[in-house]
Amino acid sequence: MTAPAISVVICVYTEDRWEDILAAVASVRAQSYPALETLLVVDHNTALLDRLAAEYKEADGPVRVLANAGPRGLSAGRNTGVAAAEGAVIAFLDDDAVAERDWLRHFAEGYADPRVLAVGGRTEPVWASGRRPDWFPEEFDWVVGCTYRGLPPGRVRVRNVLGGNASFRRTAFELAGGFATGIGRDGDRRPLGCEETELCIRISRARPDAVLLIDDRAVIHHRVPEVRERFAYFRTRTYAEGLSKALVARSVGAAKGLESERRYTTRVLPAGIARGLRDAALARPGGAGRAGAIVAGVLGAAGGYLVGTVRARRGGTRFAVPPVEVGG
């Protein structure tokens, strides 16, 4: 099968991440498997749009700067990128992450099987303080947008890929529509998520024989700012995840919407608590803190889920699934 052309979409929203954005683009342009193009989608920030357009006006590689054509937020920005992309595969990279040199090569290999409609990768945290906080459990690295303990290693079939390090066939969007708006992130507001989970479930429903993969050789390194190393952010993010999961469950049903989470909460997290308590008994740094953080994270997510479920039933929280006119 012919190797697919890959468009890379990077959604950006603030000039505070200027150096991060440049580093993200540079990592795409340095790939061993060259991207067809890099699309920078700017989320309703005219100053940033103009600055990036000037920066890449005479770039050697194909870099296009676009304005988010939809409502404010990450989902609409991604949909704008999908609509403009010309590649057979569309990859997404966070604006504060850099990809390893073979990132796109491993994605491309996954699409040798025509049933594969999505391939994700492994995201490693780069802590602003230089090291993981002692109390921060690896089981909750999803809080900072990274691959967490409990995901299977290697190239494996999954229910959903993780949005900051993911790729999809263009046909997946033709089958299932775009990323749902009203569910994902909106700049620095409450850190909601799960839009990629909801999309992947829709893809699998639209095509039951679809295969979605994570290949842990497709690695990116994601910067974790100091504010996200604090327990206050941890607590807020787990609560927001519960809110988001309630929306997804309301849309696709709890059986599918919480399929992966059941194993995570009944097997992965209890093992994490046991490790933390064992480390505490052995006087290892952070053991008790990690065990406590896991309990707090579960309670926060559960609280968010209950509140989100009540809101969804009352019709107070909604999201929309827009059709996407795929580019190319």
146-155 pLDDT, tens digit each:
999 998 899 9
Give 88's contacts (C-beta < 8 A, 6+ positions apart): 4, 5, 6, 169, 170, 328
Q: Which among 109-118, 154-163, 305-314 has the top mean pLDDT?
A: 109-118
Q: Select from 103, 198, 184 the least CA-distant residue to 123.
A: 103
Decide which of 84 and 326 is more confident.
84
Do the beta carbons of residue 48 and residue 42 sit within 8 Å?
A: yes
Lowest mean per-residue pLDDT among 48-62, 82-96, 304-318? 304-318
Q: What is the pLDDT of residue 58?
A: 78
Q: Select from 201, 168, 179 the least CA-distant residue to 80.
A: 179
Please give the model's pTM, rounded to 2 decimal places: 0.91
Strand (E) or helix (H) holding 298: helix 287-314
Flag whether pLDDT at 61 surpasses 80: no
Do the beta carbons of residue 281 and residue 216 sit within 8 Å?
A: no
Q: What is the pLDDT of residue 69?
A: 95
Flag whether pLDDT at 45 surpasses 90: yes
End-to-end Cα, the chain, rounded Å: 20
Give 255's contacts (C-beta < 8 A, 6+ positions apart): none
Residue 165 CB neighbours (<10 A) = 29
Following DSSP, what letter does each residue of 122-141 receive, concatenated? EEEEEETTSS--TT--GGGG
Mean pLDDT, residues 77-97: 97
19-40 pLDDT, tens digit each:
999 999 999 999 999 999 999 9
Lowest mean per-residue pLDDT among 115-129, 177-191, 215-229, 290-304? 177-191
Q: What is the pLDDT of residue 296?
A: 98
Do the beta carbons of residue 294 and residue 233 sit within 8 Å?
A: no
Instruction: Tally the C-alpha atoms within 13 A of residue 314's C-alpha that lie toward its C-beta.
Output: 8
**pLDDT band at 126, cuts 50/70/90?**
very high
For residues 165 and 69, what is the distance between their CA atoms, to the nearest angstrom? 22
Q: Select from 117, 214, 111 the least CA-distant residue to 171.
A: 117
**pLDDT band at 77, cuts 50/70/90?**
very high
Q: What is the pLDDT of residue 250?
A: 73
Mean pLDDT for the chain? 91
Q: What is the pLDDT of residue 186?
A: 47
265-277 pLDDT, tens digit each:
999 999 999 999 9
Lowest mean per-residue pLDDT among 65-79, 170-184, 253-267? 253-267
Give 274's contacts (C-beta < 8 A, 6+ positions apart): none
Mean pLDDT, residues 97-107: 98
183-229 pLDDT, tens digit each:
655 444 555 667 898 899 999 999 999 999 999 999 999 999 999 99
Flag whether pLDDT at 321 surpasses 90: no
Q: What is the pLDDT of residue 311?
A: 80
